Amino acid sequence: MSYTLPELPYAYDALEPHFDKETMTIHHSRHHQAYVDNLNKAVAGTIGETKSIEEILREISKYTPAVRNNGGGHYNHDLFWKTLSPAAKLAPENELADEINKVFGSLDNLKVEIKNAGLGQFGSGWAWLLVKHNGTLAVSATANQDNPLMDTNLVSQGYPILGVDVWEHAYYLKYQNKRADYLDAFWSVLDWAAVEKNYTEALSKIK
């Protein structure tokens, strides 16, 4: 299959003032596009050419570093865009809210853990909320474009339902070196309705 750049469900300036138009434009149309283009080149003529991105990532140890980096870049950004909204639902409800309270104590505690994961990631990477293979929630961080789906991830494997991009290209034009401020702003555009949907889908895969 040929991978394509997904269209954003909102305009590049729709997440202002939290995420600025220039960053969103460059991040989506250049960075994500490059991951898509390079992924298509990397899987051409290989077993990955007929597989979905999720199938590839779950067996990423069988592939080249180019597939790992660009496949992760494509998957991670696709998840990221879909969980953002200019009309975001700012708190989870029902089953996901209950599980967050059970595992982390409160939504505020979860936000602190994700922020700490993002701040603690040295260099480029991501902070994640994931559903582990036993069905419980966990927070983790990965370097570069790795994610919890990958079989190379030995720390915390599972299904990511929320990811925060902490590469400098995600925030540097607006926030410069203030990654903490960017991570705080993230919660104003994170749509918990989308995360709830991801949570339900993740649970369906492990039951």
Domains of the chain and CATH, by start = 20-207 (3.55.40.20)
Beta bridge mates, 144? none
- Model pLDDT, residue 156: 87
In 3D, which of 131, 136, 133, 36 has the Cα closest to residue 78?
36
Compute how many other C-beta atoms are within 10 angstroms of the C-beta atom of residue 120.
11
CB 166 within 8 A of CB 74: no
Instruction: Name 66's Cβ contacts closer than 8 Å, sequence gap at least 6.
Output: 38, 41, 42
Compute how many other C-beta atoms are within 10 angstroms of the C-beta atom of residue 104.
19
- Model pLDDT, residue 70: 98
Distance CA 144, CA 155 (A): 15
The whole-model pTM stands at 0.96
- Model pLDDT, residue 207: 65
pLDDT in tens, the chain (207 residues): 789 999 999 999 999 999 999 999 999 999 999 999 999 999 999 989 999 999 999 999 999 999 999 999 999 999 999 999 999 999 999 999 999 999 999 999 999 999 999 999 999 999 999 999 999 999 999 999 999 999 998 888 999 999 999 999 999 999 999 999 999 999 999 999 999 999 999 999 986
